[in-house]
Structures are given as C-alpha cells and as structure tokens.
A and B are shown apart, each in its own frame.
Chain A
Amino acid sequence: MLTPEERTEIEAEFPHYPNRKAVCIDAMKIVQKHRGWLSDEALDDIGELLGMSSTDLDGVATFYNLLFRRPVGRHVIYLCDSVSCWIMGGDQQRNHICKRLGIASGETTADGRFTLLPVVCLGACDHAPVMMVDQDTHRDLTPEKIDQILEQYD
C-alpha cells in the first residue's frame, strides 16, 4: 500500500497532467525517493492508484536510467562516464572509488552504504571529472577529494 505521504505527493501531480497515466514517471520517482527502489510491490501500489498494470509500469521504469528496479545502497554515487570526464581522467577516479569501496561499477557495498553507477554527462564539463552523490553534484574530482566527499555520507 502507498503510504499517506506517498499518496499525497503523487496526487499533488494530478492537476499538472490531463490523465493519470502521464503521472507515472513522477509517481515512480516519488515512491523511489521514499523506498530507495521500485519493487514489484511498489509498482502494484502505484498501478492501483493510476489505473495501470505493473507490466506497463515496468516497461516505463526499465527505460529510464534513474528508476531502479533493484535495491541500491543508502547512497548512490553517479559517476560521469562521458567524454569530457573521460578526457580529464574519469577512469582513474572510477578505479579509485572501486578500490576504496571494494566494488565494481554497478555494485553495492556489502554494508549497503553505497551503490556506484555510471551516468551520462552531468553537464558540468568545465569542472570534470564530476559525480553526483544522491542529490548533490561534486566537481573537479581527485582521489583525495573523493575520499573527503564519501566520508560525508554514512
């Protein structure tokens, strides 16, 4: 079941679109914000409110890079793997993060603290290499800077 909070936030989007189906991406983002990822049950819950099958929702969810159909860690590191960051040494930063956390790109640490995901160009190319952790953008990355940043997320 959707929590009252999830429901209220989703319903606040209804007036912005002429039909409920159009709200599904917003709805999935809202539920993911609260639950971390989109389980089958989450899709059922959303589908019930929007009048959609969970298969339809799954079809939409799997298209988008920022909707997760598998559990992720408490914090998601989105490391840019596009061209400007690549030129500026993004691969070395990725290797550093992987070594520090003991995971490969796409994996979650055993303690469930971090998931590392590659992401398309974050649009801060004059400060490459760049990553986001959850909602925050971090620029001009170096291994030392990455260490300091990751300390801030527990």
Chain B
Amino acid sequence: MPDDKPLTGNMRSDGVALDLKAYERAGGYEGLRKALGGMTPAAVIEEVKDSNLRGRGGAGFPTGLKWSFIPDKAPHPRYVVANGDEMEPGTFKDRILVELDPHQLVEGMILAGYATGADIGYAFLRGEYTVGAERVARAIAEAYEAGYLGKDILHSGYSFEIYLHLSAGRYMCGEETGLLNALEGKRANPRAKPPFPPASGLFGKPTTINNVETLCNVPHIIRNGAGWYRGLSRSKDGGTKIYGASGKVKRPGLWELPMGTTIREIIEEHAGGMRDGLQLRGLLPGGASTDFLTGEHLDAPMDFAGVQSVGSRLGTGTMIILDDKTCPVGMVSNLEHFFSQESCGWCTPCWSGLGWAERILRAMEEGRGKPGDLEKLAFQARFWAPGHTFCALAPGAAEPLQSALKHFRADFERHIDEKRCPWK
C-alpha cells in the first residue's frame, strides 16, 4: 500500500471497485482482526482519540471523543450510521470512496460499531449514487460471507449487522438528526437538541453518526497505529484529507494529500492552476456553506485551524473556484437558491429569510437591484447566525453571502448602479 495515501492509494485507475480479495491483499480487515483479537472497545476509542482524526463531514468534531459519548451502560440496540448523503454543492469525495473501495467503509463501520458497542449499522447513501449503492451492497454481502459481519464475527463474540439505505433526496438528510428521521421513514426535519444522538438517536437508541470519509480512515488507524496516522499530516489534525477542486482550473479533481496542504499547492500544483486567460477571484474552500476566500489567503493550510484563521472553514475540503470571468453575484445567487430550496421550513429566519435573499439576488442579476439591497442582504444574513435556528443549514447559507458582501462589494454595487449584470 502506498503509505502516504491510505484512503485512495489502492484504488484502481480503471474505475472498477476493489473486491474483497483485492481489499484483503492491500491489508484490508487486518485492522478489524487486530481490534477483535485483542483490543478492548475502550482501547479502540483511545487509539482513534490519539490519532487526532477529526470528522470529515464538515464540522471537524474529534471522532474518538464522539465515540466516547456512548455510555458503557447505554441500552441496546445501539446504532452506527455512515453519512453518505453528500449533497453539499461542490462536494464529490465520498462518491469515490463508496464506488472504488466500498470494503473500506464497511470495515470502518464495523470498527465504529465495536468501539461503541453497537449492534446495527446503516450505510446511508444519497439515492443518486446508484453505482456506489450497488458496490456497497456487494461489499456488505461479501463481508457477511467472509464472516466479517453477522453473528460472532471472527469468533470474537461480537455481532454486528449492516443495512444499506438509499435516500430519496434532500440536503437535510445530511444533517445528522434529519438523517435519523429519514431512516425512521419521516420527513428529514432536524431534531431539537438535546437529547443528542449518543443518548437518544435512531429509534430513540444510542447512535453514532460519522461521515463516510471519517469512517474510511479508521481501519488504517487501527492497523497502523495512531502515531503513524498523525505522521501523515502536516498539521495538528491527523491523517490525510481528500481535497478537491472544481470550477475553471486546468485539472479539476480529487487528491488525497497530507492534512494541512496549502490552498496554493492544491490549486497550483494539483489542479494545474487557472485555465489560460483566467484569473482566480475567490474560492469556497470546503463546499457551498463556507466563507469565500480570495487570492491573499492561498498560503493558508487546508486544516481545521488553518482555514479558520483566515476567516472560513475547512468544511468538506472540496473547493469551488471562482474565476474573473464568472459573476460573483450570480454565484451567490445560485448558492442561496440552493439553500432556500433545501430549507426544511422549521425556523423563520431560514425559510423566510433565505427566500427573501434569493429574490433580491436574482433581481440584482436581472438588472432590478435597488439601493439598500446590500443592507437588506447583510441584515438577513445576521439572522442566520448559529443559535438562531435549529440546524446549521441557515448558518451555512450565511457564510458565502456575508463573505461575498465583504470581498466582492464593488461587484454587487455595479449590478445596482448599472441596472444589469456586467458579466452578461
């Protein structure tokens, strides 16, 4: 296995998924054998804590700490949920994990299950990931056949089942408590917290929810140790990260790199820089719900603290690049349309404010912007701040808007003054 790319180094370049045999040849299920063969669940949690693995779903919560929230005496059945909803615009990393190495996810889920004393795991995938679904289903079946799933796994006394759930499509299914409602066959509105999922999650039982990429790291951490994992990283957060770039760069794509690789390195070396004749205007570092950064921030390391220090968030680590021939107001208008459409309608600042902002932005794009619009947008965005709403959709929607108003203010003003979109 290429040591520096544990998640993607074994993947085949022809797009065919690794089957059980190929996965095992690359060291697959050795982590599980090691854990079940002599590590207590508490020792598995300690190893993951020591590795400094932080959640790859956007919020960066320390994974080992999250697992430790399931109390020893918590009731059963307990659940583990793999969050593969991946509907955050500009995010396309979990797709390759489920399509090209589905056993890695299965093994990660079993290890999470063992660590938290869980009985059942759900692999939750967005419905559009039809290829991934087929391959995860096959991997689950192969794992059952090989004795990695089911009753008394590898004669350890530990039993664990995994079921695949294909979503019917809604961004809110990615929000962890919305996801739990979706799995229960309900509308994917989020839940009021507390209680938090470790105390009362799926079907009211203790539940651990992790992003697909997060879980895929776990087999490698257990197999090779926390120290090795921390050593992969250039920062305090452990491991590698699957970074991505989309937009008008020369080579859009995904790259597994040390955590803490700079934005500049990703854009200039891996993505090949901007297409000829285009300049970089800005970027969303980690999906739609992160603040815009600009050319002056390119030396920031893409880790949780590094991106935060320049005023944004690592988010999903897949960046969306804005070039100088693309209208920033049009881009923000597209983003707020998405958030407004996907709002679940529970909180007034979200359902009402997002629609309002969307209409103002569209009017601006169509040459109907009015003096005072920018103040209205800023005023709305303030109501979407964390703490005003039941979930993080609205705070996420505020990030690209508030930062665009700061970095691209003159562009917004031109739309209003010239009564048109200067890019059209």
- A residues adjacent to B (C-beta < 8 A): 16-19, 21-26, 28-29, 59-60, 63-67, 78, 81-84, 86-88, 119-128, 132, 135-137
Q: List 27 A-B contacts (CB under 8 A).
A: A16-B165, A19-B203, A26-B166, A63-B187, A63-B188, A64-B169, A67-B168, A81-B337, A81-B338, A82-B90, A83-B334, A83-B338, A84-B246, A84-B247, A87-B326, A88-B248, A120-B169, A120-B342, A121-B90, A124-B95, A125-B89, A125-B91, A125-B92, A125-B252, A126-B252, A132-B128, A137-B128
Number of chain B interface residues as a range: 35 or more
**Residue in contact with B334 in the complex, picked from A18, A24, A65, A82, CB distance below 8 Å:** A82
Q: Chain A residues with Cβ under 8 A from B244's Cβ?
A: 125-126
Q: Please tell me if the beta carbons of A124 and B171 are within 8 angstroms of each other in the complex.
A: no
Cα–Cα distance between A78 and B127 once the two chains are bound (Å): 12
Cα–Cα distance between A75 and B101 once the two chains are bound (Å): 30
Q: Please tell me if the beta carbons of A123 and B129 are within 8 angstroms of each other in the complex.
A: yes
Q: A28-B168, A126-B92 are in contact. Are A83 and B248 (CB under 8 A)?
A: no
Q: A28-B168, A82-B334, A128-B246 are in contact. Are A87 and B320 (CB under 8 A)?
A: yes
Q: Chain A residues with Cβ under 8 A from B86's Cβ?
A: 123
**New A-B contacts (5) at CB < 8 Å, excluding given A17-B185, A119-B128:** A22-B183, A86-B330, A123-B128, A124-B92, A125-B92
Cα–Cα distance between A26 and B288 once the two chains are bound (Å): 29
**Residue in contact with B246 in the complex, picked from A16, A23, A25, A125, CB distance below 8 Å:** A125
Q: Chain A residues with Cβ under 8 A from B326's Cβ?
A: 87
Q: Chain A residues with Cβ under 8 A from B26's Cβ?
A: none
Indicate whether B331 reaches chain A with its CB closer than 8 angstroms: yes
Which secondary structure characterizes the binding site on chain A?
A: mixed
Cα–Cα distance between A98 and B313 once the two chains are bound (Å): 37
Cα–Cα distance between A121 and B287 once the two chains are bound (Å): 11
Q: A83-B320, A126-B254 are in contact. Are A121 and B87 (CB under 8 A)?
A: yes
Q: A84-B247, A87-B248 are in contact. Are A120 and B171 (CB under 8 A)?
A: yes
* Chain B 63-104 per-residue mask, 1 if CB under 8 angstroms from chain A, else 0: 000000000000001000000001111111011000000000
Q: A64-B169, A125-B91 are in contact. Are A25 and B338 (CB under 8 A)?
A: no
CB distance from A51 to the nearest CB of B (A): 12
Nearest A residue to B168 by beta-carbon distance? A64
Which B residues from 338 to 364 make CB contacts under 8 A with A? 338, 341-342, 344
**Residue in contact with A22 in the complex, picked from B90, B170, B185, B247, CB distance below 8 Å:** B185
Q: Chain B residues with Cβ under 8 A from A23's Cβ?
A: 185
Indicate whether B159 reaches chain A with its CB closer than 8 angstroms: no
Q: A66-B168, A83-B90, A125-B318 are in contact. Are A59 and B187 (CB under 8 A)?
A: yes
- B residues adjacent to A (C-beta < 8 A): 77, 86-92, 94-95, 126-131, 163, 165-171, 182-188, 203, 244-248, 252-254, 284, 288, 318, 320-323, 326, 330-331, 334-335, 337-338, 341-342, 344
Q: Chain B residues with Cβ under 8 A from A135's Cβ?
A: 130
Q: Chain B residues with Cβ under 8 A from A126's Cβ?
A: 92, 244-246, 252-254
Nearest B residue to A32 by beta-carbon distance? B168
Nearest B residue to A24 by beta-carbon distance? B185
Q: Please tell me if the beta carbons of A120 and B185 are within 8 angstroms of each other in the complex.
A: no
Cα–Cα distance between A132 and B130 once the two chains are bound (Å): 10
Cα–Cα distance between A19 and B183 once the two chains are bound (Å): 11
Cα–Cα distance between A86 and B336 once the two chains are bound (Å): 13
Cα–Cα distance between A151 and B171 once the two chains are bound (Å): 31
Q: Chain B residues with Cβ under 8 A from A59's Cβ?
A: 187
CB distance from B201 to the nearest CB of A (A): 13
CB distance from A84 to the nearest CB of B (A): 4
Interface centre among A26, A28, A82, A128 (most CB of B within 10 A): A82
Q: Chain B residues with Cβ under 8 A from A22's Cβ?
A: 183-185, 203
Q: Chain A residues with Cβ under 8 A from B318's Cβ?
A: 125
Cα–Cα distance between A23 and B338 once the two chains are bound (Å): 28
Q: Please tell me if the beta carbons of A125 and B90 are within 8 angstroms of each other in the complex.
A: yes
CB distance from A37 to the nearest CB of B (A): 13
**Residue in contact with A82 in the complex, picked from B77, B89, B322, CB distance below 8 Å:** B89
Q: Please tell me if the beta carbons of B87 and A120 are within 8 angstroms of each other in the complex.
A: yes
Q: Chain A residues with Cβ under 8 A from B342's Cβ?
A: 120
CB distance from B99 to the nearest CB of A (A): 10
CB distance from A92 to the nearest CB of B (A): 13
Q: A63-B188, A83-B331 are in contact. Are A25 and B95 (CB under 8 A)?
A: no
